[in-house]
Amino acid sequence: MKRILPALRSLALFAAVAPAAFFVHAQAPQPPEIAARTYMLVDVTANQVLAAKDIDAPVEQASLTKLMTGYLVFDALRAKKITLEQKLPVSVRAWKMPGSRMFIDPKMQVPVDDLLKGMIVQSGNDATMALAEGVGGTAENFVKLMNDQAKALGMKGTAYKNPEGLTEPGHTTTARDLATLATRLMKDFPEYMHYYATKQYSYPGTPASNGNNRNALLFRDPTVDGLKTGHTAAAGYCLVATSKRDFPGVGQRRLLSIVLGTASENARANESQKLLNWGYTAFDAVKLFDAGQPVATPAVWKGKESTIRIGRDQAVVVAVPSGSAGKVTTQIVRQDPLVAPFTKGQAIGSLKVVLGDQPLVEVPLVALDGVEQAGIMGRAWDAIRLWIK
């Protein structure tokens, strides 16, 4: 039997940003007109969607493909299969890659660190191919790894045919999948995210004029620190952009905008900026609980401890339309009774957040501590108490 408990304390309003699955709510602020085939705005901090249009429509990936290539390279670095200092050869295939280039050639042995900058800052297809061959052995094997990883991340609308994003039949994705990939990229590999904030880079001996990051928002908005541009004739001009801004009482809040199929470089930057600014002003942030703070301390049966603290390792933050924080209530949904043992981090119910009479978001709760099973006498005594109860 599920047990619904009342909110443990009143909520406090702290700042501005936005929610998830919220765009379906009638009270949600209406986003501005965005001149793009499809777009999506995600509040990464609150794990909520603020705005969306045609997010499951298949689209050409262009160089946004390189987000997955980067994910796999970072994973290989963490697993120590390669190192940043390691020099990789440049194959003839990599040298001859068309489109955006880092301008490396087969006479060179290029460190992985430089190849990452060439792929991310310059969007070099040659650098991307060199990395793919270095990690996967062949480009074809690397593409298999890409598709396997997409499946593991739940990217159901994505198929990869190459590591760099040149137009190829069936090489498509969706705005929803790009949001999943970008969010996991930032969460799983924070130590490598500085590459996406790099404004300029040129490998020694290559044209300095090729050195500017294609993400114009890095030069316009100091709160933007990534992620990736893309462009082909089929895809139009695309940008996955992310921004983090500080708010009193909440700390850093991160938004992620995905704008696909705009008409020009300037348009993709302008429309992305429009979405980000709207998200930060149209919603207020509500911090419900700090990281590690117990949301509740319910009774435990047949355990060495009589209670268990449940909550989250991260702060619980939600976003609501500006001015509506006073309408937020919470409910705890969990199984009753709770019977030991429990391990630290084990899922125990959820926190439902409601705005007025409409569900806003449901946040999973976990055990903040472990509770071992009691001895035979303790379990027997609690069994009798439960029977009487």
- The partner residues of 159 in beta bridges, in order of sequence, read 172
164 close to 124: Cβ distance less than 8 angstroms: no
The reply to whether 123 belongs to the active site is: yes
228 close to 149: Cβ distance less than 8 angstroms: no
| 247: CB partners within 8 A, 6+ apart | 14, 15, 16, 17, 253, 285
Say how far apart CA 180 and CA 186 lie, in whole Å: 10
Active-site residue (options: 2, 10, 53, 63)? 63
| 287: CB partners within 8 A, 6+ apart | 12, 14, 249, 250, 315, 316, 317
Active-site residue (options: 100, 123, 202, 272)? 123
| 357: CB partners within 8 A, 6+ apart | none
Apex 40 CA angle, 36 and 45, nearest 5: 150
* Residues designated as active site: 63, 66, 123
